[in-house]
Amino acid sequence: MSDEIFQKETIKQILGHYKKIWAIGHAQSVLGWDMEVNMPKMGITERSVARGELSVLSQSLTLDPKFLELVEKAAALEDLNEYEKGVVRVLQRDIKIAKAFPPEFVRELSEVRSKATMAWAEAKEKDNFRKFEPWLDRIIELSKKAAEYLEYEEYPYDALLDLYEEGLRTRYLEPIFSKLEKDLKPILDKILEEGKVPKEHPLETEKYDTESMKEVNLKILELLGYPLGVKGRLDISPHPFTTEFGIHDVRITTRYEGFDFRRTLLAVVHEFGHALYELQIDEKLMFSPIAGGVSLGVHESQSRFWENIIGRSREFVELIYPVLKEKLPFMNKYSAEDLYTYFNMVRPDYIRVEADEVTYNMHILLRYKLEKMMVNESVKAKDLPELWNEEMERLLGIRPKNYKEGILQDIHWAHATVGYFPTYSLGTLLATQIKSYISKDMPDFYEKIARGEFGPIREWLREKVHKYGSTYPPTELLERSFGESVNPEYFIKYLKEKYLD
């Protein structure tokens, strides 16, 4: 930590106390990562209690009277620099949340999350929603309680949205989602009608050797610039994710299903985008409250930028084609053009994480509608599978044949992260805006991808987004770096140019 950034003595005292809170968060990240990657099933009994107790301990440290006094004192200072203002803003927000939740609620929520996650995994494996249903009812009940504790002006759901995207409200989302619902269906219909883009591809059924696919993924991460073994790891989990333990330790996971290798490969590129954000935060912010991504929407813009704008581009496909031919023998039957069309198929499908660029936001629209019903209305878990299926049929014209294809596909509700899903759409839209901005600053953007020159792209993202961590609120960061906040027009234009023009 440097005096160049944190100069005020009061701020330094705050950061001295905060390091204990950071250490608990660090431990929680390790325990959570281990639970998903390594832990035997029966370990959940002790793990859920341990994480619950650590959550309460973190809350008590956050609400320590001396700490609260320091934060109030710092907030009254008029000559704080931008970073010090960021520390005060983030801590005031954390304190407000910590004050809102009684310790017994924090403990219960943490334990329910751990147990619900294991119940979800078993329910999905056995395609048996009943095994998860009682836990989902608990999650709905706790989400409603959380909204009441946090307080809100218009809708209970707004309180949960704000947890994941600072300042986000239903009234901001409604016009964005209304435009997407209005504009996406005609684009999808025209793509399917014209038949220029394939709806299926023989590469979907080609079976791969897991060890060979791991080698492909590791090689691609090396090409992108992920510091494997130095600051990062690639592991296996039921649902791909990224965990940051700190600026020098950010780990990603993927899954291997033995066929349709695009799923695991693009998941790796996606998670790399998340990891890069955390790895490129200014090291001078280390151990501070602003040493992390500012919001889930901005975070998702980074992963979707690498997955969609880069990973599905013709230039990237041609770059990795030789690697695939070397490691996956069946690729010798296919051309680089085959690979490109395989990566860019468009069709209504059941699984969100495997959805194409055109239909992806419809999956979020579905979840957004159901989450509002869960929190603002009296919908119970038993009602949700049918509501899910009806909404999917309305939006995409397909109806899930089982729970795995429907309500059990995502881990998020097991984690009690109700209000999280809309950030996926915000990030997806913002990724196309970033494409527009970087193309103006870097006219040879796609030529750089073709040559595997990702360093300048990483540096541009570092300067525009990453290095600030949470110094500025998400909307202010976007205004400072790009002059506007999330605008769906870029996304609609991108789809029309790529798939119709």
**Active site amino acids:** 271
274 is in an annotated binding site: yes
DSSP H helices in 151-244: 156-164, 170-194, 210-224
CA distances from 438 to 22, 119, 263, 431, 464 (A): 34, 43, 27, 10, 10
| Pairwise CA distance, residues 421 & 427, whole Å | 10
17 is in an annotated binding site: no
Helical (H) or strand (E) element with 460? helix 455-464
Q: What are phi and psi of 399, to 5 degrees?
A: -130, 125
411: tokens are: 């881990």
Among residues 17, 37, 104, 46, which one has the least CA distance to residue 289?
A: 17
CB 273 within 8 A of CB 293: no
| Pairwise CA distance, residues 176 & 158, whole Å | 15
| Pairwise CA distance, residues 235 & 498, whole Å | 33
| Pairwise CA distance, residues 140 & 409, whole Å | 17
Q: What totals of helices (H) and strands (E) does the chain contain, helices first? A: 20, 3
Burial class (CB in 10 A: 0-12, 13-18, 19+), 225: middle
| Pairwise CA distance, residues 304 & 491, whole Å | 12
| Pairwise CA distance, residues 359 & 348, whole Å | 6
> Cα 440–432–162 angle (5° rounding)?
125
> Cα 165–113–360 angle (5° rounding)?
50
CB 104 within 8 A of CB 112: no
2: tokens are: 């440097």
Q: Express the helix, strand and coil content of the chain in percent, nearest 5 each.
A: 65, 5, 30
| Pairwise CA distance, residues 173 & 7, whole Å | 38
300 is in an annotated binding site: yes
Helical (H) or strand (E) element with 252? strand 249-254
| Pairwise CA distance, residues 367 & 235, whole Å | 28
DSSP states of 225-247 as a string?
T--BTTTB-EEE-SS--EEEEET
| Pairwise CA distance, residues 307 & 494, whole Å | 15
Numbered residues of the known binding site: 270, 274, 300
Numbered residues of the known binding site for Zn(2+): 270, 274, 300
